[in-house]
A and B are shown apart, each in its own frame.
Chain A
Amino acid sequence: MSDITKLSLNELIQNIRNKKLSSTEITNSFIERSEKSKKLNTYVTDNFSSALEAAKIFDEKPNMDLKLPGIPIAVKDLFCTNGVRTTAGSNILNNFIPPYESTVTQSMWDEGAILLGKLNCDEFAMGSSNETSFFGNVQNPIGENLVPGGSSGGSSAALAASLTPVTIGTDTGGSIRQPASFTGTVGLKPTYGSCSRYGIVAFASSLDQAGPMSQNVKDAALLLEVISKFDNKDSTSIDFKRNKYSSELTNNIKGLKIGIPNEYRVEGMPKEIEDLWKKGIEIIKDCGAEIVDISLPTTKYALPTYYIVAPAEASSNLARYDGVKYGFRSEGENLIDMYEKTRSEGFGEEVKRRILIGTYVLSSGYYDAYYLKAQKVRQLIKNDFDNVYNNVDAILTPSTPSSAFKIGEKTDDPVSMYLNDIFTVPVNLAGLPGISIPAGVDDKGFPLGLQIIGKPFDEQTILNIAYSMEEKINFKNNITDWWM
């Protein structure tokens, strides 16, 4: 076998089932490569020795009927893993070892997958560059000193660098799709309510969704099939009939209507993004689908809405980190003093900024002007999508307004950082599924992604469109292993 780590998830599974490779061999390969890739800073906590043990146990009595037989997988450090430290990229959870497992990761282990380790991310998933992590920057394998996107930056970088065959991230405003776009990988955010939020460190409850990140669309379909499950431990989990995403995957999208939203042609959009989008439209036409111009008039208000709703929920979700029950505590003279010291030393600057924004928009006298207003606009944004979905089956947009930028380039200007999510945020606000696939490179040779947005619960259609486009785009990531 030439290089095991370069194989796709589906190829690895085939090799395991054919007994050409063992789980131990595969796990060893990813561990070895990960050990040589510390410079990327993708892992917060590794689980290598336990993973090898688990692989050995799998190989002794392999169950090939499982969907992820003996496959080692590293996950974003926002998923609580039983007995394995879970930090959410924060000092405040620096020493936290959950005595429970998130539903999503449990579903993966139930299908034979093995935990390789916990991947770096922006602190509490708040960021678009992985620069807010307490555990430091992550390097984008595309090029030195480039951000891998965020918040699932450790995940996108580890995936692009072949340190894990697939991974899972979480997406609140673009945190799967934007880093996928920055690293030339595939990232899917499912419909809100598809994947259980139980055991995932919460950022903004009404927006958070877990989803697969992979080298190709077929792998994403398979991983989605494993993690998309109704869960009665999450009151917002939805009991709908899920497709067999991987076996129902088809490249026949003839006759589908794909909407092109006029409002996504934002002012100052770089020409290369514009060109990429045009290229996407041509490919869609080539595949036999129909292009329809559509309008989503409230689009420009999505980002301001998001920056009210998400911080508001976060300010409340993060109140539990108070130094009492778990995690970091800074001793204080009295209870209030302990709270204030713990939280100001335990949280990083971006998290504190968002907690304060959220506290402010919910505070007495401002609730109606900000939070209530935002929830009204959010309804309008949802209505926009509901309306166009009477005429189209899916929507095609760019994933991000730019390719990966330099580490440190945007850290001093929060608003310019927030603008990264301009194309991805409306999808979270409306609770829709969206997938980003690599579609080309910019003039610097950095990958750029296209986003396909679907109807609620219609992950299958966006996967099919992505699958068809992927075939025609035939994107190859140019990873030089510069860090080794």
Chain B
Amino acid sequence: MAKTNQFFIEREQNKYEVVIGLEVHAQVTSDSKLFSSSPTKFGAEPNTQVSLVDAAFPGMLPVINEFCVKQAIKTGIGLKAKINKKSIFDRKNYFYADLPQGYQISQYKYPIIGEGKVILDMTDGQKEIGIERLHLEQDAGKSIHDIDPTNTFVDLNRSGVALMEIVSKPDLRSPDEVNAYIKKLRSIMRYLGTCDGNMQEGSLRADVNVSVRRQGDDNFGTRCEIKNVNSIKFMQMAIIYEANRQVDLIEEGKSIDQETRLFDTKKNETRSMRSKEDAHDYRYFPDPDLLPLEISDEFISQIKDEIPELPDEKKKRFIDKFNLSSYEANILVSDIDTSKYFEEVIKNSDVKLATNWITGELFAVLNEKNLEISESPVSSNNLSKLINLIKDGTISGKIAKTIFEEMIEGDKDPQIIVDQKGLKQESDPKALEELINKVIKNNTSKVEEYKSGKEKLFGFFVGQVMKESKGKGNPQLINKILKEKLNG
């Protein structure tokens, strides 16, 4: 059972460790862009969310969005990181079709957020991943190469949207850890409401730095940066490909060039982006259109007051207060919507039952129907009603499952289903005794067998009584009375 997350690449003589660092680009949740008042909505018609500032018209100037600053600080607090009270916006200069200013406004030497950490729950225990920094920057537009055979089309809707670049230390050692790290980061930001974490829409993407070294080596190998990977699966595939490529080079006695590479998802391989190499001198300097960003203590403490309970703290509380296992707690806190749902359900119902029902029946249905918990066909209110019906003995667990099947079709109130279908549990001892007597009478030979020591048959009798009760008999009571009758 003790699964480990150790990940090595093995060759005949040598065993290699993979060292991974991630630069995650997370789109800040905000109504307007970082330095302009254009909307940020996803999926608009091309170039309809572009202001004169975003298209870099002559004489246009950036004015920073306070909320984006707040969002970055919030995220910093969520990463238990240092908030820098003074930070500076720099220009990163390079030419590209979807970069209308000819530079990206970013933060280079003095980012808004300094060192922090993220805790991963791996199957073989917790692991801490260091955060190097978080800074604010502008997104670029989008180049579209496949509309026209000879031209590239440019859509600037994304141009100027606020991004947080979150740089990890080279602390990750396996594709599994990368998976856990991205999910944890996403979870923290979704709790905070600072990034929606939607990878399909590109709200979360990463540059992946990969190097390899022989097991036991202290020095890092030469790293390659794989640009702009937009799903966890692709990150993992790219890492495995890239690490193997580097190991092969070492095994062949060749050296690794420090370079930027691109992951080709169709061919499942990384390849060099040489065309970008010669333009790699970004000539960073402080943006003279902006002043240093100064953040007051009041501003920070005001933001601190708005920080909700985050997954790590929530997990601890669930374990301490509700006696959940670490495993259960992890599942329930990993996504903010799940934890919200859970907490709504347990407001008025039993925690243990709620845990089982959510992680069991509900998750199975969501999985099957490919739904998010926020789209759950059963509301938290109705699930808590169902749990209460079980708890107070109105229905049995078995009947509850039947009712649940029905609830899925249009979020029905379980009480109404019970009433309409007469599914209320039979808990009248006299009525049950009658049924039991009937079963005993009809199965005299089995009763003999039982009495002569074949105790396994007890289950058979329970089943028969249940059948007679049309599944509505209270199982605890049936057990109790049957035992008295058979043993008496």
Chains A and B belong together in one complex: yes
Which of B64, B103, B290, B291 touches A316 (beta carbons < 8 Å)?
Answer: B103
- Report yes or no: A326 in contact with B57, Cβ–Cβ below 8 A: yes
- Report yes or no: A233 in contact with B61, Cβ–Cβ below 8 A: yes
- Report yes or no: A320 in contact with B59, Cβ–Cβ below 8 A: no
Considering only CB atoms, which chain A residue lies closest to B63 in the complex?
A235
- Report yes or no: A322 in contact with B52, Cβ–Cβ below 8 A: no
| A110 interface residue per 8 A CB criterion | no
Contact partners of B114 in chain A: CB under 8 A = none
| A273 interface residue per 8 A CB criterion | no
Considering only CB atoms, which chain A residue lies closest to B281 in the complex?
A364
- Report yes or no: B288 in contact with A204, Cβ–Cβ below 8 A: yes
| A483 interface residue per 8 A CB criterion | no
1/0 per residue, CB under 8 A from A, across B91-126: the answer is 101010100111100000000000000000000000
Given contacts A197-B61, A235-B62, A325-B55, contact A320 B102 (CB under 8 A): yes
Given contacts A324-B154, A339-B95, A363-B281, contact A102 B59 (CB under 8 A): yes
Which of A99, A236, A336, A339 touches B289 (beta carbons < 8 Å)?
Answer: A236
Docked complex Cα distance between A202 and B55 (Å): 15
B144 smallest CB distance to A (angstroms): 13
Number of interface residues of A (CB under 8 A): 43
1/0 per residue, CB under 8 A from B, across A411-438: the answer is 0000000000000000000000000000
Which of A93, A232, A324, A364 touches B58 (beta carbons < 8 Å)?
Answer: A93
Contact partners of A96 in chain B: CB under 8 A = 58
Contact partners of B288 in chain A: CB under 8 A = 204-206, 236, 313
Which of A100, A234, A312, A320 touches B56 (beta carbons < 8 Å)?
Answer: A320
- Report yes or no: B93 in contact with A362, Cβ–Cβ below 8 A: yes
Considering only CB atoms, which chain B residue lies closest to A102 in the complex?
B59
| B285 interface residue per 8 A CB criterion | yes
| B441 interface residue per 8 A CB criterion | no
Considering only CB atoms, which chain A residue lies closest to B55 in the complex?
A325
Contact partners of A313 in chain B: CB under 8 A = 288
- Report yes or no: A363 in contact with B57, Cβ–Cβ below 8 A: no
Which residues of chain B (39-66) have a CB below 8 Å from chain A? Answer: 52, 55-64
| B215 interface residue per 8 A CB criterion | no
Contact partners of A197 in chain B: CB under 8 A = 59, 61
Docked complex Cα distance between A312 and B291 (Å): 17
Docked complex Cα distance between A116 and B290 (Å): 33
Which residues of chain B (339-368) have a CB below 8 Å from chain A? Answer: none
| A302 interface residue per 8 A CB criterion | no
Which of A93, A201, A233, A312 touches B285 (beta carbons < 8 Å)?
Answer: A312
A-B contacts, 15 listed (Cβ < 8 Å): A93-B58, A205-B288, A233-B61, A234-B63, A235-B291, A236-B291, A313-B288, A318-B102, A320-B102, A322-B95, A324-B97, A324-B154, A362-B283, A362-B284, A367-B283
Residues on A close to B: CB < 8 A? 80, 86, 88, 93, 96, 98-100, 102, 197-202, 204-206, 232-236, 312-313, 315-316, 318-320, 322, 324-326, 335-336, 339, 359, 362-364, 367, 371
Give me 20 other A-B pairs in contact (C-beta within 8 A), A96-B58, A201-B58, A232-B63 excluded: A98-B59, A197-B61, A199-B59, A204-B288, A205-B289, A233-B63, A235-B62, A236-B288, A236-B289, A236-B291, A312-B285, A316-B91, A320-B58, A324-B97, A325-B57, A325-B100, A339-B95, A362-B93, A363-B281, A367-B283
